[in-house]
Amino acid sequence: MAEKREPLPFTTPTIARLYMLQGKLDEAEAIYRALAKEREGDPRIAEGLAELARRRQSPEVAGSEDAVELRVKGEALECSYRVSEAGRRRATLVLGGEGALTLRLCAFPGAKQEDLPLAEASGAIAVPASLRAPVIAAAVGLRDVSGRFVAITHGALSAAT
């Protein structure tokens, strides 16, 4: 008997990527397939589906070198990150050119967003107090001069964790 699933509340590339990084490949695929119908030709969706296929075929891809983690450190919030050359190359291909390594932080509710430039491929950075919220999502990726952002890795922290 097939397991009954609740409808997915959000269908965005970011949510699909979060599901994939959590190992919830069926949920990620459902979102990517829905988005592929809505956004025909979107390179982010194509890259997401391609990465999903790689993860299904090769378990070691799931242990990617790319990572971002949010954690409480005393009274502050800290975001640590690590980006591989392979992750950077994939993002450059999707972006269609070079971009600056960037940490994108989003606070929910309210969807406040802030982009912070990153000088190194790995490190840690304090989360600005202006973004403190019940749920904070972080993505490290490349941002081009027009402001287009292509994520390499995602993470989130909820007040419940």
* pLDDT tens for the chain, residues 1 to 161: 455 555 556 788 888 888 887 778 888 899 999 999 988 888 888 888 888 887 777 544 444 589 998 888 877 888 999 999 888 988 998 888 999 999 999 888 877 899 999 999 999 998 888 777 888 889 999 999 999 999 999 888 875 44
Is 0.75 topped by the overall pTM? no
Q: Pick from 136, 27, 95, 143: which is nearest to 35 by CA? A: 27
**CA distances from residue 103 to 24, 37, 83 in whole angstroms, order as listed:** 24, 29, 11
- In the chain the domains, ranked by start, together with CATH numbers, are 13-62 (no CATH), 67-158 (2.60.40.10)
Helices 43-57 and 13-21: angle between axes, nearest 10 degrees: 10
